[in-house]
Amino acid sequence: MLRVLLETGFLLALNPRDRHHRWALNILEDAKERRIKIYLSPTAPLELSLVLRSRDRSEKDIYQSLEALNTLIHRYTRIAYPLFGINHVIYASMLRTKHPMLTFFDSLHASIALLNNLTYQDLDVVIKKVIESERRSEDALKLMR
């Protein structure tokens, strides 16, 4: 079974008004049918909370949004959370040095995918390219040992 990493783009796409909503539902269907195993980046809920706060959402709105997402996901599958520790933060920092177009959270998502050997299946093209580049390099292998 393919082990895939999803992140904040997936969570945002669970909103029925999001243009990528059908994509997110297809991912959930694949998980329900056991074609994939979903791993959610452990930093994605934090990033989503910050995005919602930046949009002036109240704490009640944020709570209700996160609850609704959790309920929707659990209708299809139980998601897993990959390991996340200091090596991921170190590697993310190195990734931002090598790839300055990466944001803070994007670098964390990339490091989580790389160090946990997960297939990145979210929407961010920059993260995909960085992961492909890093998989060809030796840096990720050093930290995986």
Report CA dihedral (3, 79, 22, 5) to the nearest 10 degrees: -40
- For 81-112, write each residue's pLDDT tens digit: 999 999 999 999 999 999 999 999 999 999 99
Q: What is the pTM of this model?
A: 0.92
- For 28-56, write each residue's pLDDT tens digit: 999 999 999 999 999 999 999 999 999 99
* Residue located via tokens 């980046």: 41
